[in-house]
């Protein structure tokens, strides 16, 4: 079992819709969770971090964490074509800064 | 402010040659990470330095790979000898000290092709 799993997609949504990206992780002791966005041919950039169960909102983005289910998700409201990218889920393990990344989900927002 | 700087941006080499990738982290950051990204394996951590000291090199694939950080502003990742399966994008990332250590800032990457 991979440590961090994501559906590779592509996930296709129409412009203006809500995009829902999901991620599961295997290390029950994980405490920190991140979403990175990576445009094609570019480097990953951090868009959200979440540490506690529940929801965390930042503009059109909402991260959701459920540690009991070992599940973290990212919702993008009012999706725009510029949101088309690969979204990487990352989980911090242990006491170091080491991040384990999922394979990423490719999101396509169609005008 | 300048971000993480990597060089070269592209590298094409032949199997068996030595390849050296370079990284300059963001000034003031004390953690540095080397990642490799391929379609098959995704983004994998190769090695992680904190205050110039290697903390975790469990991701280094084999002895052909080595990394150094001689000072706070420079790191190298060397592959010797290179093989076609080493073809990938290699990212360097850095993070600042303190609670934001988990916020990693990625460089633009080096696209390596080994023929």
DSSP-derived secondary structure for B28-68: T--EEEEEEEETTTEEEEEEEEETTEEEE-TT--STTEEEE
Residue B77 contacts by C-beta under 8 Å, 6 or more apart in sequence?
B20, B21, B23, B34, B46, B47, B65, B66, B67, B90, B92
Q: How far B64 CA sits from the closest chain A CA (Å)?
A: 22
Residue pLDDT, tens place only, A67-84? 999 999 999 999 999 999
pLDDT-based confidence at residue B103 (cuts at 50, 70, 90): confident
Subunit contact B43:A44, Cβ cutoff 8 A: yes
Subunit contact A96:B55, Cβ cutoff 8 A: yes
Quote the pLDDT of residue B101.
54
Separation CA A37–CA A76 (nearest Å): 12
Quote the pLDDT of residue A98.
80
Quote the pLDDT of residue B52.
94
pLDDT beyond 70 at B102: no
pLDDT beyond 80 at A95: no
pLDDT beyond 70 at A55: yes
Subunit contact B45:A98, Cβ cutoff 8 A: yes
Cα angle A3, A8, A9; round to 5: 150
Residue of B nearest to A31 (CA): B102
pLDDT beyond 60 at B32: yes
Q: B42 contacts in A (CB within 8 Å)?
A: 88, 101-104
Q: A93 or B43: which carries more pLDDT confidence?
A: B43
Quote the pLDDT of residue B83.
96
Mean pLDDT of chain A: 93
| Residue B10 token pair | 């592209």
Quote the pLDDT of residue A96.
66
Q: B108 contacts in A (CB within 8 Å)?
A: 42-43
Quote the pLDDT of residue A1.
60
Q: How far A67 CA sits from the closest chain B CA (Å)?
A: 19
Q: Which of A43, A46, A97 sits opposite B31 (nearest CB)?
A: A97
pLDDT-based confidence at residue B112 (cuts at 50, 70, 90): very high
pLDDT beyond 70 at B1: no
Subunit contact A97:B33, Cβ cutoff 8 A: yes
Quote the pLDDT of residue B2.
82
| Residue A40 token pair | 């094609």
pLDDT-based confidence at residue B100 (cuts at 50, 70, 90): low
Subunit contact B101:A97, Cβ cutoff 8 A: yes
Please check whether residue A33 is in contact with residue A87, taking contact to mean a CB–CB distance below 8 angstroms.
no
Q: How far A55 CA sits from the closest chain B CA (Å)?
A: 19
Q: A35 or A99: which carries more pLDDT confidence?
A: A35
Confirm or reject contact between A9 and chain B (CB < 8 A). no
Residue pLDDT, tens place only, B33-63? 999 999 888 999 999 999 999 988 989 988 9
Q: How far B23 CA sits from the closest chain A CA (Å)?
A: 14
pLDDT beyond 80 at A3: yes
Confirm or reject contact between A72 and chain B (CB < 8 A). no
Quote the pLDDT of residue B67.
97
């Amino acid at each position: 079992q991979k440590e961090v799993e994501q559906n590779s997609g592509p996930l296709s949504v129409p412009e203006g819709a809500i995009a829902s990206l999901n991620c599961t992780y295997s290390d029950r002791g994980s405490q920190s969770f991140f979403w990175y966005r990576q445009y094609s041919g570019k480097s990953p950039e951090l868009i959200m971090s979440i540490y506690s169960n529940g929801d965390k909102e930042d503009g059109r983005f909402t991260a959701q964490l459920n540690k009991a289910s070992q599940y973290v998700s990212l919702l993008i409201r009012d999706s725009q074509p510029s949101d088309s990218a690969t979204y990487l889920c990352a989980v911090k393990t242990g006491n170091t800064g080491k991040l384990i990344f999922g394979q990423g989900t490719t999101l396509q927002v169609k005008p | 402010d300048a971000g993480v700087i990597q060089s070269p941006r592209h590298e094409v080499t032949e199997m068996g040659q030595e390849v050296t990738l370079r990284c300059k982290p963001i000034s003031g950051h004390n953690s540095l990470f080397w990642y490799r990204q391929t379609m098959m394996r995704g983004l994998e951590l190769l090695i992680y330095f904190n205050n110039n000291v290697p903390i975790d090199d469990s991701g280094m694939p084999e002895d052909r790979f080595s990394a150094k950080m001689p000072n706070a502003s420079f790191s190298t990742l060397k592959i010797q000898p290179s093989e076609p399966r080493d073809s990938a994008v290699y990212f360097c990332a850095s993070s600042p000290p303190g609670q934001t250590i988990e916020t990693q800032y990625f460089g633009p990457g080096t696209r390596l092709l080994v023929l």
